[in-house]
Amino acid sequence: MDFSAWVHTVTDYISLHPHLALGVIFLLAFGESLAFLSLLLPATVILLATGALIGESELSFFPVWLAATAGAFAGDWLSWWLGYHYSYRVTAAWPLSRNPQLIQRGHAFFERWGVWGVFIGRFFGPLRAVVPLIAGICTLPAAKFQFANATSAMLWSFAILAPGALGLPWLAHLF
């Protein structure tokens, strides 16, 4: 199945099963934010297309936004926790082991920006996959991490869903 077909399959499923949509949206945002899955899952594009379904279906913005925010928050939190508890050993796991340059870039980014790097990294695909993990490896205190995690998850979810929800339904048909 090609990328476009995959996006359409998931958005069609959400349209046909609005009672399951919030769970699917949570899982997509979680997968997009989890260090290992983020490298494999094209969830950002699907979430962008899902935003276009708001208003065209039974979905309303606030619950969808909360589900995406909660999923993004949980994915980054688990990534931080894995880094905090397992340190650099987690980078030996696939698919991170196949992308050592990504770990190096994420580490350099985090070293430069610190807790702000957690916030900023959420908005850049490859960094989103590793910065929370690196923050855990570098033992960024949980409270600082969670503040950056929560605020960036709220803003990222809004930015991903709002274009479609605010009247750009053609976004759903781009993919």
Per-residue pLDDT tens over the stretch 14-36? 887 878 989 999 999 999 999 87
Q: Is the pLDDT of residue 143 over 90?
A: yes
Torsion of CA 78, 106, 43, 157, to 10 degrees: 80
What is the number of structural domains in the chain?
1
Q: Tokens 């909660």 map to which residue?
A: 70
Q: Is the pLDDT of residue 4 over 60?
A: yes
pTM over 0.85: yes
Q: Which domain holds residue 146?
A: 3-173
Contact 100, 121 (CB under 8 A): no
Q: What is the pLDDT of residues 55-89, one digit of tens each?
A: 677 788 999 999 999 999 999 999 999 999 999 89
Contact 65, 157 (CB under 8 A): yes
> 3-class SS at 58?
coil
User: What sign has the CA pseudo-torsion 126, 128, 130, 131?
Assistant: positive
CB atoms within 10 A of CB 62: 8
